[in-house]
Amino acid sequence: MAPPNKGFKGFSEWDPTSISKEATATPKEDTKPTPAQHPSPRRGSRRGSNPTTSRESSQNSKPQFQKLERVQPPRILSQGPGAPRTPLRPPAPKQKYPNIVVDERPSTTLTSAQKIKRVKGIYWITGIGVYALSSYGVYLYIQYGKAVKLNDENEKQYRLGVKDRPDIDTHQVYENISGKYDSNVRWSEFFMGMPFLRRWMMWGLQGDVLEASAGTGRNNAYYPVRNCKSVTMVDNSPNMLIIAKDDFERRYPRYGHISFSPQDASQPIKSPSGEGFDRVVQTMGLCSQKCPVETLRNLEQHCKPGGKILLLEHGRSHYDWLNNILDAYVLDHARNWGCFWNRDIGRLLEESGLVVTKISRFHLGTTWLIEASPRSRNQDQTTEPGSESK
């Protein structure tokens, strides 16, 4: 083993930064030994060397690395007695375009450009809404003025005998429009919410059911056929009733307790049991009937004691200005659709004598949802009108 270098310094005088230099270059010999050094053995004699001293020198010659200083968190400086304490950050790099703001973290605060864009969107939506409402109001005002003049002129001519009140055959009108009726009223009923009202009316059907003025079967989709013992549909338009039959059989192919009768709802109707119906339904029928009061009384006679009569009709409104419009254009509407939309449904119910239990009105009062029941009658009157044997 090689003898220790004479220029070795004690641990108290050793500089760790000179490790790399001492590891590569041989240190110069110092002629004057320090007191801390051990006496060197005889030159040329390896046997007389102290092995302990050699091991200690080899151990002490191991390189020692500097301690890594712990990274300190950024200092927090106070900007004032009441100011919040915010950590200092290095300055952000300059952007190529000063109007583009780059933020690494999402921020809930809006820039001035975003605020302006949002305000413009609100202004546009509000402006469009105000324009639509004002345009619709102007249209109604113009129609109201025309309706008042037209109605006054017609009534004057009727009184003087210059013009007779027209007699419109609604039966023929429905025969002509039966093929295109569903496609013409589908979207208008959808936006008015009529499917919801139809479903509401048909929800509690049970037992033997009669639907008067069935039309093209626009109530077929809402029939709870599992609760219905039988279903009977009548309408005075054979073409419409054929469409209703095809649609019902397509929806409920396994339901066999169904019958269709092309007749007016004011005439006697035969039930499967011969004792009447548990539920009687009519939708938009009073507006097209020649004698709506007689129709209501006939439906009452065919309803069992304790049964219900459900009506979904349209007629006069809560407001006189809207009633004037209905009165002025009722003839044109009846020629095109077979419907007299200005009839007073409340007065018809009062004249019929039905026991009305509930009335709900929609669409400014023009749509009537009615629940009624038949008047009490003699206990021995168990058969329906027209079912007696001759």
| Percent of the chain with pLDDT strictly greater than 70 | 67
pLDDT in tens, 34-91: 554 444 544 444 444 454 555 555 555 555 656 656 656 655 555 555 555 555 566 6
Q: Compute the distance between CA of residue 83 and CA of residue 314 in angstroms, rounded to an integer.
A: 69
- Mean pLDDT of the region 340-355: 94
Single-letter code of the amino acid located at 22: E
What is the overall mean pLDDT for the chain?
A: 79
Q: Is the pLDDT of residue 325 over 80?
A: yes
Q: Is the pLDDT of residue 249 over 50?
A: yes
Phi-psi region of 63 (alpha: psi -120 to 50; beta: other; left: phi over 0): beta
Instruction: Name the band, by pLDDT with cuts 50, 70 and 90, for residue 118.
Output: confident
Query: Which of 137-146, 246-255, 335-344 is predicted least confidently?
Result: 137-146
- What is the pLDDT at residue 160? 74
CA 262 remoteness from chain centre: 40
- What is the pLDDT at residue 390? 37
Q: Is the pLDDT of residue 270 over 70?
A: yes
Query: Which of 6-10, 145-149, 357-361 is predicted least confidently?
Result: 6-10
- Mean pLDDT of the region 311-338: 90
pTM summary value: 0.63
- What is the pLDDT at residue 389? 41
Q: Which residue has the higher pLDDT, 34 or 96?
A: 96
Asked if 275 contacts 303 with a C-beta cutoff of 8 angstroms, the reply is no
| Percent of the chain with pLDDT strictly greater than 90 | 46
Query: Which of 20-29, 147-156, 206-215, 282-291 is predicted least confidently?
Result: 20-29
Instruction: Name the band, by pLDDT with cuts 50, 70 and 90, for residue 142.
Output: confident
- What is the pLDDT at residue 83? 54
Query: Which of 197-201, 250-254, 333-337, 385-389 is predicted least confidently?
Result: 385-389
